[in-house]
Amino acid sequence: MDKEKVKTRSYSMSKAYKIAVIPGDGTGPEVIAEGIKVLNAASDRFGFKLNLTYYDFGGERYLRTGEILPDGAIAELRKYNAIYLGAIGHPDVKPGILEKGILLRLRFELDQYVNLRPVKLYPGVDCPLKDKKPEHIDFVIVRENTEGLYAGAGGVLKKGTPDEVAVQESINTRKGVERCIRYAFEYCKKRNKMKKLTLCGKTNVLTYAFDLWERTFHEVAREYPDIKADYAHVDAITMWFVKNPEWFDVIVTDNMFGDIITDLGAMIQGGMGIAAGGNINPEGVSMFEPIGGSAPKYKGMNVINPLAAICAGGMMLDHIGEEKSGKTIENAAMEVTGKHLKSLAAGKMGYSTTEVGDLTVKYVSEI
The residues that touch Mn ion, with contacts defined as CB under 5 A, are: 259
For residue 149, the partner it binds in ligand IPM, Mn ion, none, with Cβ less than 5 to 8 A by kind, is: none
Return the number of the residue (287 or 320) whose C-beta is nearest ligand IPM: 287
Residue 208 CA to residue 237 CA, distance in Å, equals 20
Instruction: Collapse the DSSP code of 43 into the 3-class scheme (helix H, G, I; strand E, B; otherwise coil) and give the result.
Output: helix
Running DSSP on this structure, what letter comes out for residue 121?
-
Question: β-strand 16-24 against 276-280: which pairing, if any?
Answer: unpaired
Residue of this chain nearest to Mn ion (CB atom): 259
332 binds, among ligand IPM, Mn ion, none (CB under 5 to 8 A by kind): none
- CA 33 to each of CA 41, 85, 112: distance values in angstroms, whole numbers, following the listed order: 13, 11, 24
* Residue 103 binds which of Mn ion, ligand IPM, none (CB < 5-8 A, kind-dependent): ligand IPM
To ligand IPM, the closest distance from the beta carbon of 267 in angstroms equals 13
Give the 3-state secondary structure of residue 239: helix
Nearer to ligand IPM, 144 or 230 (CB): 144
Nearer to Mn ion, 98 or 334 (CB): 98
Specify the residue, 259 or 335, whose C-beta has the smaller distance to Mn ion: 259
| Nearest residue to ligand IPM, by Cβ distance, number only | 99
The b/e string for 140-172 (b: 16+ C-beta within 10 A; e otherwise) is: bbbbbbbbbbbbeeeeeeeeeeeeeeeeeebbb
| Phi, then psi, of 148 in degrees rounded to 5 | 65, -150
- What are the CA-CA distances from residue 262 to residues 48, 57, 301 (Å)? 32, 25, 27
Phi, psi (rounded to 5 degrees) for 71:
-55, 140
| Residue number, 254 or 259, with CB nearest to ligand IPM | 259
Q: Nearest approach, Cβ of 155 to Mn ion (angstroms)?
A: 24
Residue 336 binding result from ligand IPM, Mn ion, none, given CB thresholds of 5 to 8 Å by partner type: none
Q: Is 22 exposed, middle or buried (0-12, 13-18, 19+ CB in 10 A)?
A: buried
Of 34 and 254, the one with the shorter C-beta distance to ligand IPM is 254
Collapsing DSSP to helix, strand or coil, 350 comes out as coil
CB of 148 to Mn ion, least distance (A): 13
- Name which of 19 and 280 has its Cβ closer to Mn ion: 280
99 binds, among Mn ion, ligand IPM, none (CB under 5 to 8 A by kind): ligand IPM
Minimum distance from residue 219 beta carbon to ligand IPM (Å)? 28
Min. distance of Cβ 208 from ligand IPM in angstroms? 23
Q: In whole angstroms, how close is the CB of 114 to ligand IPM at the nearest point?
A: 13
Kindly state the smallest distance separating residue 117's Cβ from Mn ion, in Å.
9
Rounded Cα distance between 61 and 24, Å, is 9
The binding site for ligand IPM (CB under 6 A) comprises: 99, 103-104, 259, 291
